[in-house]
């Protein structure tokens, strides 16, 4: 299998920088043949071009910190359903991507629209403790890294596609711009797969 493990996030935002900071750690480890580690924090439109120039992946695992107003340290895992929102919402995501907004959701929507993702895409995210400026993760999130990395190991090495999370609510990146957001399924983070 060809597998891409990729971090997504901004630099210098403490826990919100988990994606790129964890990728730095993961690149220092030995990985089996066929597993690539990359930082995809440079914008979905450019990532679509980059993915189009690479041999196809069988699975992509995206990692990062996402604030969903849950208990800090909550680890969430789901398989992307490849379902898209309305045309207007897709256009808004492409505009955000072109203006430099870096988010897991923008990457998923834009890359799905342009058909750059394999069928098996898994998202592994954590609820941040701190979302202020800072070059390092908080002590609390640092303490959870072993558990997060163990979950990552289970996700990328699973021989079969992980089940879809029964439900998933998308939270928009800028509520002031689009206060209604959109829902693919009813929210229920309690499912364990």
Residue 144 in this model has a pLDDT that exceeds 70: yes
Q: Which domains does the chain have, with CATH numbers?
A: 3-183 (3.40.50.1450)
Give dist(CA 82, CA 37) in Å, integer: 22
Strand locations in 14-162 (E): 35-39, 59-65, 75-79, 120-126
Residues with Cβ within 8 Å of 148's Cβ and at least 6 positions away in sequence, in order, are 22, 75, 124, 126
Q: pLDDT tens-digit profile of 76-100?
A: 888 888 888 889 889 988 888 888 8
pLDDT computed for residue 23 by the predictor: 95
Query: Once rounded to an integer, what is the mean pLDDT over residues 108-112?
Result: 93
Residues with Cβ within 8 Å of 32's Cβ and at least 6 positions away in sequence, in order, are none
């Amino acid at each position: 299998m060809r597998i891409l493990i990729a971090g997504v996030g901004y630099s210098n935002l403490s826990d919100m920088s988990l994606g790129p900071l964890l990728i730095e750690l993961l690149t220092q480890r030995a990985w089996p043949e066929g597993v690539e580690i990359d930082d995809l924090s440079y914008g979905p439109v450019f990532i679509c071009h980059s993915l189009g120039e690479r041999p196809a992946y069988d699975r992509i695992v995206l990692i990062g910190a996402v604030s969903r107003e849950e208990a800090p340290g909550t680890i969430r895992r789901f398989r992307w359903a490849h379902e898209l929102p309305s045309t207007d919402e897709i256009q808004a995501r492409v505009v955000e991507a072109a203006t430099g907004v870096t988010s897991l959701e923008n990457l998923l929507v834009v890359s799905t629209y342009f058909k750059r993702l394999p069928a098996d895409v898994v998202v592994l995210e954590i609820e941040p403790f701190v979302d202020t400026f800072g070059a390092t993760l908080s002590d609390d999130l640092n303490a959870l890294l072993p558990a997060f990395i163990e979950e990552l190991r289970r996700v990328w090495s699973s021989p079969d596609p992980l089940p879809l999370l029964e439900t998933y609510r998308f939270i928009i990146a800028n509520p002031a711009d689009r206060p209604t957001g959109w829902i693919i399924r009813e929210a229920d983070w309690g499912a364990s797969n």
